[in-house]
Amino acid sequence: MTDPLALDPVLPRAERSRLPFNAGATHSERFEAFEAHVVAGGKVEATDWMPEEYRTAVLRFVEMHANSELMGVLPEREWIMRAPTLRRKLALTAKVQDEVGHAQLLYRVAEDLGKPREAMFDDLLAGRTKFHNVFHYPTKTWADIGVIAWLVDAAAIVAQQALRDSSYAPYARTMQKVCWEESVHIMHGRDVVVTLATGTTAQRDMLQEALDRWWPPLMQMHGPRSDRSKDRDLHWRIKAKTSEELRQEFLTIYVPRVWELGLTLPDPNLRFDADAGEWRYSEPDWDELRTVVTNHGPRSEARLEFRRLARAETAWVREAILAAPRAAA
């Protein structure tokens, strides 16, 4: 009964509103229409036309995020066999599985932007692309697992929540799912931390030491302050907040919760400046950040080597899948 003509536009072409990236336009007109669209809060889908500049910028951002999810499970998996109770072991295993799942979702988003997954693994393992600084460090005790699951995930979720409104819609939707799952990890981590905080003196000391170890990398994690007007990812609305805005948000929520447990943070200058309405802190060691993210961190090479080994050992699975007849095709 449907009249196919009903899919024709109501107005003649000359009177139609201008589509953002109308196929009839020249490249620069398309570019300008696209830019106006995203700057005004418009969304972009995987199958939409987009300028190469935008495609490359989103790809770089998402690929780094995917790499971090994938590499981020390695410090935690080191503790699955050493988890203190069965319930902790189950929770930690589930968290590791979730994070790998996030990597899968994000690599899928990145693939649609034009880079095959194998090429992303090649670049990661060859050190041509990066992953987050916090995953280049060793885990010394069980308390590290609590601090990572609570505070590293908290610092990450602050950034990820701001990405739920990214102009690149497939990424934004993925972040909604990821944030939902991360909220469980934070509760798991906080539970580990609070349990240790209410434990023996040795457990409290172990917790304080882990916190002292992880605080400098946590303060570096969001990156140095940047100029909002020069940040292209902000301009394209790929992300919504600057590194300093994310750090301030993280400090506002989590410093009071750390102090609440009677724990200290290893920065004598850390305080909330009520007049300025923001946190003051000692300048993080940006040289350390640069050193670590370029794979010169204490565990960078070992973690990459482990990933290379895992990839080689599972190559037969990928080959078997690709060689399989297409069942329902």
Partner 1 sequence: MTDEAVRDRSAGPSESGALEPFEVFRQEKDGGPMVHGGSVLAPDPLLALHYAREMFSRRGESVRLWVVRRADVHELDDPDVLAPPLDRSYRKPGGYVMRDKLAAARERAGTSKPKARDKSR
Positions touching partner 1 (CB under 8 A) are 7-11, 16-17, 19, 45-48, 94, 97-98, 101, 104-105, 108, 111-114, 116-118, 170, 173-174, 177, 181, 318, 321-322, 324, 326-329
Residue 47 vs 229, nearer CB to partner 1: 47
Rounded alpha-carbon distances, angstroms, from residue 166 to 38, 172, 239? 9, 5, 6
Nearer to partner 1, 4 or 268 (CB): 4
* Distance in Å, CB of 326 to partner 1, minimum: 4
Q: How far is the CB of 122 from partner 1 (least distance, A)?
A: 10
Tokens of 65: 């995020």
How far apart CA 97 and CA 94 sit, in angstroms, is 5
H helices of the chain, in order, are 27-39, 52-77, 86-112, 117-125, 142-147, 153-161, 169-197, 201-220, 232-235, 243-260, 286-291, 300-313, 315-323
Closer of 276 and 323 to partner 1 (Cβ): 323
- C-alpha span between 298 and 265 (Å, rounded): 22
The nearer residue to partner 1, 166 or 208, going by C-beta atoms, is 166
Minimum CB separation of residue 175 from partner 1 in Å reads 11
* Least Cβ distance, residue 109 to partner 1 (angstroms): 8
Q: Minimum Å distance from CB 126 to partner 1?
A: 16
Specify the residue, 43 or 204, whose C-beta has the smaller distance to partner 1.
43
Q: Which of 16, 76, 61, 305 shows the shortest CA–CA distance to 167?
A: 61
Cβ contacts of 224-233, under 8 Å, gap ≥ 24: 224/284, 224/286, 224/289, 232/53, 232/57, 233/57, 233/61
Cα–Cα distance between 170 and 189 in angstroms, integer?
28
CB of 232 to partner 1, least distance (A): 22
**Closest separation in Å from C-beta 111 to partner 1:** 5
Cross-strand bridge partners of residue 272: 279
With respect to partner 1, which residue has the nearer C-beta, 14 or 276?
14
Give the gyration radius of the chain's Cα atoms.
23
Q: Are 81 and 277 in contact (CB under 8 A)?
A: no
Taking each helix axis from N to C end, the angle separating 201-220 and 243-260, rounded to the nearest 10 degrees, works out to 170
Residue whose C-alpha is closest to residue 57's, from 132, 113, 105: 113
Q: Shortest distance, CB of residue 272 to partner 1, whole angstroms?
A: 37
∠ CA 136-177-256, nearest 5°, is: 60
* Choice between 170 and 284, CB closer to partner 1: 170
Q: How far is the CB of 173 from partner 1 (least distance, A)?
A: 7
- Between 98 and 285, name the residue whose CB sits nearer to partner 1: 98
Angle, helices 169-197 vs 52-77, to 10°: value is 20
**DSSP class per residue in 201-222:** HHHHHHHHHHHHHHHHHHHHTT
For partner 1, the closer of residues 97 and 282 by Cβ is 97
